[in-house]
Structure 1
């Protein structure tokens, strides 16, 4: 045991004995640590530099400047302690919470460098990030440790990244955008004549609902879904737009289809023989797709500012959107009165090295080869995904947490683990 580790560990043992016990159990042997030198120096862990190798202090000052002058602040990742020391220079700071994103990385840093100057400060509180279900604000997340985050802290990492990218992700939803204004204007006539999604709220109180997405695991369930669809007293079938065509190809007709995306076309929602299928939509959807739908249509808005003006002119019910069509599909089920919702194809990942059920690689977005990220599946193993899928997963988990009165079941362990759901023993494989 190094001299540095002994002195660092004594501070942690005295102040946070439970954290100390976990750090002592961390396995650092799989980490490749290298010294990287520039104008200064830093540590590289598994090829990822923890900090700048030129001017760590200046880097920490820039990072600190992005945080408000709050009494309580949160730092995710420990780095080499530079940001903590910079923030502790603020006289008004009352508490600084440091959340570990990789326990083994921190244990290794404790072996190599003296961290006592910030660990000893009485304003510091030390945690494993994964001990909390949600992120804390205001925060700064060290970029290197977002990459190095371990399995235990992965869900918090995903929430941090989603929060960091929020402004960028919302750039397409500018209410002053000419494209948005034009599309909403083109949808007005349809909106005036179509039903209000609020008419559906409370209409299925107590009924079980199947919410069907397009993840690859859906392919495991086509045969049973077709059989259940023909039964009396069956659950209600609600599917997302991209799942509609694969379901039809396997003889399964949903009760409701939910669509919100301006990129959806007749290729995804073929209008033939749709008279008995209801469509819940938001007015950013292509009006031609809506006009051709033969079944009853119900219009809805999200909380997005793009609907602020038209909502005042033509009030309609609201469905929750967190970036993906699965969110309003689930919200519709809840608002219709479901007490049990079973999720199909809600994978948020690429099990079996496939991107979607019933579609070719790249048909609905980036190809599999572009997958650079991971989540944990239902077996606790890492599985490929893309960045926006992780954000959608975070928002669904948050939604589930806000609705404890509804039981949520997942039907496959092959896709991402969804916090707040249980695996349905009749379906999960």
Structure 2
């Protein structure tokens, strides 16, 4: 055991013995490690450079500048080489700097190689494994290299960090000042003014079970049974997302409510034929001609997006929860209609079996499965391919479920992403 590790380990054992015991139990890092020379030598792990090798301190200062200097609590995700921790301790008024380990084996490598006892011994430092907390803490800085190198045990927190970092970029298309957004709102204004408020549906199904049907690949296995169930006089409320309507109709399944929010939806996805017995719930920006062709009742609402801030003042309507995916308002509608038990179908947030959706060809509803480079854990604890936006949709649904303890949520497949907060319905879910 090196003198460096003995000094680092002594501080860890004194301050956080439980963390030290976990670190000692970590398997050796399974990635190649290379020392990169330069004005500020650094490590390359699996081809990922941990820090700048030109000026590590200046890099850390830029990272620290993104955090509020007057915040009493700061959070650093990833341990790096200790540079950001040192800068924060020297330059901020924080009472506590929480350091969250994203890769235990990587931190062990650093502890064995470089002196870290200076910042570890500072009483303002708290050290945790990131996954010990179910949710990310704000304000934070996540070290970019360790968002890539995060180990599997900390993957859920890693996904939340990545999603949070991307929020600003992801919201750019919804800028209310964008001319195309203004055009889409203006073309639908007459229907917005004449169609009833979605609030008219709230509380109308109190205590009823609801099935919320999305378009993930796992929906396919349930279609025959859903068809039989849909024809019973006493059955759950059936709410589907817009892209699920076509595969459901092909099976002779007529949902009670269809939810649509995307201005890219066309009559190919939302055919108006034989729609008289189905209710359509939508958000503004959808093509007015498409909406006008719907034969059944229509209800309109908003999301919390600034996109609707001005128009909401002119035409008040109730709000549905939207966080990127149409499944969010479909589930929120079920909750607000009064459902006490919600069962999800096709809510995969992933590409089980290397398929993207039920009833649509690969790439019809978005990127092809072949370009997916990300993963989540499925219901069996295995990795399943996905894409970044699906991971963000999953995260926001899990947060929504936490906020609604009065509702029981069930999933019907282990093939897609594990949705924390749901139970597997034993009557629908294969082992």
Aligning the two structures, in what range does the TM-score lie when normalised by the shorter sequence?
Answer: over 0.9
Q: Are the aligned partners of 1:241 and 1:257 in contact in 2 as well (CA < 8 Å)?
A: yes
- Tell me, in whole angstroms, the C-alpha distance in 1 between the residues paired with 2:197 and 2:88: 51
Instruction: Give the TM-score, by structure 2 length.
Output: 0.97
Q: Are the aligned partners of 1:374 and 1:382 in contact in 2 as well (CA < 8 Å)?
A: yes
- Tell me, in whole angstroms, the C-alpha distance in 2 between the residues paired with 1:142 and 1:55: 16
Helix, strand or coil at the partner of 1:117: helix
**What displacement does 1:418 show?**
0.8
Does 2:67 align with 1:67? yes
2:123 is matched with 122
- Tell me, in whole angstroms, the C-alpha distance in 2 between the residues paired with 1:378 and 1:318: 32
Does 2:219 align with 1:239? no
1:385 is matched with 386
1:37 is matched with 37
2:16 is matched with 16
**What displacement does 1:38 show?**
3.8
- Tell me, in whole angstroms, the C-alpha distance in 2 between the residues paired with 1:325 and 1:2: 55
Name which of structure 1's ranges 152-161 and 331-340 shifts more when overlaid on structure 2: 152-161
Helix, strand or coil at the partner of 1:366: coil
2:148 is matched with 147
Helix, strand or coil at the partner of 1:209: strand
- Tell me, in whole angstroms, the C-alpha distance in 2 between the residues paired with 1:56 and 1:369: 37
Does 2:77 align with 1:76? yes
> After the TM superposition, which residues 273-312 of structure 1 pair with which residues of structure 2 at under 5 Å, given as runs?
273-312=274-313
- Tell me, in whole angstroms, the C-alpha distance in 2 between the residues paired with 1:97 and 1:321: 31
Helix, strand or coil at the partner of 1:352: helix
**What displacement does 1:46 show?**
1.7
Q: Are the aligned partners of 1:343 and 1:410 in contact in 2 as well (CA < 8 Å)?
A: yes
1:266 is matched with 267
Helix, strand or coil at the partner of 2:188: helix
Does 2:330 align with 1:329? yes
2:25 is matched with 25
Q: Are the aligned partners of 2:29 and 2:109 in contact in 1 as well (CA < 8 Å)?
A: no
- Tell me, in whole angstroms, the C-alpha distance in 2 between the residues paired with 1:164 and 1:348: 20
1:224 is matched with 225
The superposition leaves residues 284-331 of structure 1 with CA deviations (integer Å, 9 ceiling, x where unpaired) of 111121111111000011111111122122111110101110100000
Name which of structure 1's ranges 52-61 and 255-264 shifts more when overlaid on structure 2: 52-61
**What displacement does 1:159 show?**
1.2
2:417 is matched with 416
Helix, strand or coil at the partner of 1:152: helix
**What displacement does 1:374 show?**
1.1
The superposition leaves residues 314-372 of structure 1 with CA deviations (integer Å, 9 ceiling, x where unpaired) of 11111010111010000000000011111111111111011111111111111112111
Q: Are the aligned partners of 2:216 and 2:357 in contact in 1 as well (CA < 8 Å)?
A: yes
- Tell me, in whole angstroms, the C-alpha distance in 2 between the residues paired with 1:38 and 1:162: 33
Query: What stretches of structure 1 of length at least 5 have no aligned partner?
Result: none
CA RMSD, 1 decimal: 1.2
2:210 is matched with 209
Does 2:409 align with 1:396? no
- Tell me, in whole angstroms, the C-alpha distance in 2 between the residues paired with 1:182 and 1:4: 63
Query: What stretches of structure 2 of length at least 5 have no aligned partner?
Result: none
1:90 is matched with 91
- Tell me, in whole angstroms, the C-alpha distance in 1 between the residues paired with 2:338 and 2:255: 18
Runs of at least 4 residues off by over 6 Å: none
**What displacement does 1:91 show?**
5.4
**What displacement does 1:135 show?**
0.9
- Tell me, in whole angstroms, the C-alpha distance in 2 between the residues paired with 1:244 and 1:96: 50
Name which of structure 1's ranges 292-301 and 31-40 shifts more when overlaid on structure 2: 31-40
1:198 is matched with 199
Q: Relative to structure 1, is the Cα distance of residues 3 and 129 closer, same or farther in structure 2, using a 3 angstrom cutoff?
A: same
Pairs aligned (count): 429
2:189 is matched with 188
- Tell me, in whole angstroms, the C-alpha distance in 1 between the residues paired with 2:163 and 2:314: 33
**What displacement does 1:29 show?**
4.4
Helix, strand or coil at the partner of 1:4: helix
- Tell me, in whole angstroms, the C-alpha distance in 1 between the residues paired with 2:41 and 2:399: 40
Q: Are the aligned partners of 1:31 and 1:105 in contact in 2 as well (CA < 8 Å)?
A: no
The superposition leaves residues 81-123 of structure 1 with CA deviations (integer Å, 9 ceiling, x where unpaired) of 1110111102522100001111111122112211111111110
Q: Relative to structure 1, is the Cα distance of residues 65 and 331 closer, same or farther in structure 2, using a 3 angstrom cutoff?
A: same
2:7 is matched with 7
1:253 is matched with 254
2:360 is matched with 359
1:99 is matched with 100
Q: Are the aligned partners of 2:323 and 2:396 in contact in 1 as well (CA < 8 Å)?
A: yes
- Tell me, in whole angstroms, the C-alpha distance in 2 between the residues paired with 1:223 and 1:334: 26
Helix, strand or coil at the partner of 1:44: strand
- Tell me, in whole angstroms, the C-alpha distance in 2 between the residues paired with 1:74 and 1:91: 12
The superposition leaves residues 25-58 of structure 1 with CA deviations (integer Å, 9 ceiling, x where unpaired) of 1112423222123443211222211111222111
